[in-house]
Structure 1
């Protein structure tokens, strides 16, 4: 299926996906899904698309999931930030003694008879299982899948895809799995990274949603890849605009690229000092300073205090 045909009528172009700052609305997603339903002859296309959404596709949020101290905290993060993550379905988690369940409700359509509802759920089921395998380990599996819609013509694919009993025309869309998976230790716990990522998700990115203009695009791009502070030329390429155009847009917003980078560095430094035990050397490395002395000088310039004084309160 040509990408241009899949995107037809959505207002999106292939070139818009070459930058990490592109934001896509639910209406645009619905348009693309309807195009896929109409154009594709592959009944498993929604499953295959969902399987391509691995944990690193979520950027900063993916780091937070992978670094969660426990799997229970990772689940809490997933359900709390599902819409911020770009999920196409709301996610609710429940657990009893032996089993755990993710209940999903599509955001694109509430009509169980709508093809987009079924397509969105197939995508969401596959994407959630892919995410769970990235976080829990490749051997993760589910016990049962329940779908609120009627069995489609390609229902046989479900059994092959999910390797578990499948039920249609159910009250809810649910994935059920062994609760023991939650009690296993995380594969890659990293409290420092988790604190940083979760704080940024809650505070900084939440605020950024209300900002407009190219400066906000730069902030989001920098925070989606913390520790990477590219040149203005590299950032312009990422935003698919000429460096002169980027400078002109920033000038119109009465800010410079250096100002935006310094702001992001300062906010990250404050979060590190408040919420982690990282040393000045470790923070300097995270913020791409050549050494701790340069970081201390920069922090004093931003706040009028040394990092040690700030941390002491």
Structure 2
């Protein structure tokens, strides 16, 4: 029995996918910025392969995107735009693999990093290999979107990896063919069969030895280690405090009110506070930690003055921001900025590891 989205572990969705979807909405005439803001997401924070968006916000954004665009095939449209570098360390590991089979094995092992709640199982039968994709929970409207993006995305990305569509491959989909699919069928480079008993990629065993164009043994080893570490970290960060932090990190306006975060996570304010206390955390401490990290990024990577940074971080003025930053790090924002622009910048950046 599959869990529901309300009581299953929320590992979040990579923000970069929502950024890419927002760009797609713009091309078909939808005001993507307005839509993101209504969901409470900061458009400027989504262009990242590292940040993750809470499952509830991702689901709300996708659902609204489908309704307001009138396009139920957005998952297929997204699949055609997916490029390997968008998938972070997993994308790098896959690109640097030796063969298609090796790339698919990496996808099978580390898929949780990019598509939580989906898992892949492999089996061989006769001359074909089946890579079956299943979901361990009910994602509601998000599920069809994710399955479209995942399965069809693999076909397009396989061509990126090998230089051509993998000959003899096909896609199996459960259930009847959706009404919208006929508009996309001619764009599919491989057969798509609905009415199957599983969602799967079927690939001839003879094609699994196809070489990857970007193979790099040293890069492969490094990126796989990064995937292992990322998977470990994601598993460890499955607590409630991490869920709260994800909402804070991508929220607009910033900083978000406690009531807004509680509503996003479908809990009461009292429950949110209690669950954070159980993990020896507090809402304000999480907000301050995100503020400190954002402050470091803005001071290091932009030419924004202190008043602009203070406004971006939700402070009334530069003086309040300066006092808070000095309390956190022991130095002023201006001193921190000067240090990060000199050779000793590494030492200055270590200030951000101070406990808020």
For normalisation by structure 1, the TM-score amounts to 0.63
Counterpart mapping for 1:80-229 below 5 A: 80-86=109-115, 89-106=118-135, 109=138, 115-140=141-166, 143-203=169-229, 206-207=232-233, 210=237, 213=289
- Select 1:24's aligned residue among 21, 43, 53: 53
Report the CA distance shift for 1:73/1:163 in structure 2 as closer, same or farther (over 3 A): closer
SS of alignment partner, residue 134 of structure 2: strand
**Partner Cα distance (1:97, 1:235) in 2:** 58
Residue 252 in structure 1 maps to residue 328 in structure 2: yes
What is the RMSD computed on CA atoms of the aligned residues? 4.0
Give the C-alpha shift of residue 78 in structure 1: 0.8
**Partner Cα distance (2:124, 2:162) in 1:** 17
Asked if 2 retains the 8 angstrom alpha-carbon contact of 1:8 and 1:35, the reply is: no
Give the C-alpha shift of residue 249 in structure 1: 5.7
Give the C-alpha shift of residue 57 in structure 1: 0.4
Give the C-alpha shift of residue 232 in structure 1: 6.0
**Partner Cα distance (1:2, 1:80) in 2:** 37
CA deviations on 1:18-56 (whole Å, 9 max, x unpaired) are: 455432122222112211221123343221112212101
**Partner Cα distance (1:60, 1:246) in 2:** 36
Give the C-alpha shift of residue 163 in structure 1: 4.0
Report the CA distance shift for 1:51/1:246 in structure 2 as closer, same or farther (over 3 A): farther
Give the C-alpha shift of residue 84 in structure 1: 0.8
Asked if 1 retains the 8 angstrom alpha-carbon contact of 2:49 and 2:88, the reply is: no
**Partner Cα distance (1:260, 1:194) in 2:** 32
Give the C-alpha shift of residue 173 in structure 1: 0.9
Asked if 2 retains the 8 angstrom alpha-carbon contact of 1:7 and 1:35, the reply is: no
Runs ≥4 residues deviating over 6 A:
215-218, 242-248, 253-257
Find the counterpart in structure 2 of residue 49 from structure 1. 78
Report the CA distance shift for 1:207/1:124 in structure 2 as closer, same or farther (over 3 A): closer
Give the C-alpha shift of residue 8 in structure 1: 5.6
For normalisation by structure 2, the TM-score amounts to 0.57
- Select 1:233's aligned residue among 287, 292, 300: 300
Report the CA distance shift for 1:109/1:41 in structure 2 as closer, same or farther (over 3 A): same
Find the counterpart in structure 2 of residue 78 from structure 1. 107
Give the C-alpha shift of residue 183 in structure 1: 0.7
**Partner Cα distance (1:80, 1:207) in 2:** 15
**Partner Cα distance (2:326, 2:157) in 1:** 37
User: How many residues in Structure 1 have an aligned counterpart in Structure 2?
Assistant: 248
